[in-house]
Chain A
């Protein structure tokens, strides 16, 4: 069965510090990769996506992620976080050789940015 692992359920970090949120997935077949963010009392917002091409993907709000096929990872990074980045972040994977419309999500990482 396909699975997505977000290794950290919670990440506390101070404002202006760098952060990395980790995501690993179970299969090495062709994948599409996504990061979503959920702010309190809101829906999921697409941060960035990898479909093909360059393995370094830049998204909104200064976030970026790197696709590493050999390690089946898609970690999310930001060099300097703001208080407003406090939210829950979800990694999602779909498998291009199967039903690429079916997303598999990780269990989420709560980012808590402290002043």
Chain B
């Protein structure tokens, strides 16, 4: 069974540009989560989808971040325009019952 996949693995962009991260959850997992780790600090929750609906987006830092999950399958996280402080590792996770989340390898974003 394939795990959670994320694309791209790395992205280097300039301040003001737009970047879109993609996450493909484990097949059949209704719950999908986005997290971010900045500068070696703790991993922080961004938001949670149940199928295509946003269940909790309390961790989204500001309106430059937009997450979507059309059709309840893969999800995208768009940052527009990117700022320097957006640099970090963005993790996606999925679960079936919420009692154990399976994480992808992360996307390393560097904003210059």
Contact = CB atoms under 8 A, between A and B. Distances in A.
Interface of A: 4, 32, 34, 36, 41-46, 49, 51, 90, 92, 99-108
Size range of the chain B interface in the assembly: 20 to 34
22 contacts: A4-B42, A43-B3, A43-B4, A43-B91, A43-B106, A44-B91, A46-B100, A46-B102, A90-B43, A92-B43, A100-B99, A101-B33, A101-B48, A102-B45, A102-B58, A103-B43, A103-B45, A104-B42, A105-B43, A106-B42, A107-B40, A108-B42
Given A46-B102, A101-B56, A107-B41, 20 more contacts: A34-B100, A36-B103, A43-B104, A43-B105, A44-B91, A44-B103, A45-B103, A46-B100, A51-B99, A99-B48, A99-B55, A100-B99, A101-B33, A101-B48, A102-B48, A102-B59, A103-B35, A105-B43, A106-B42, A107-B42
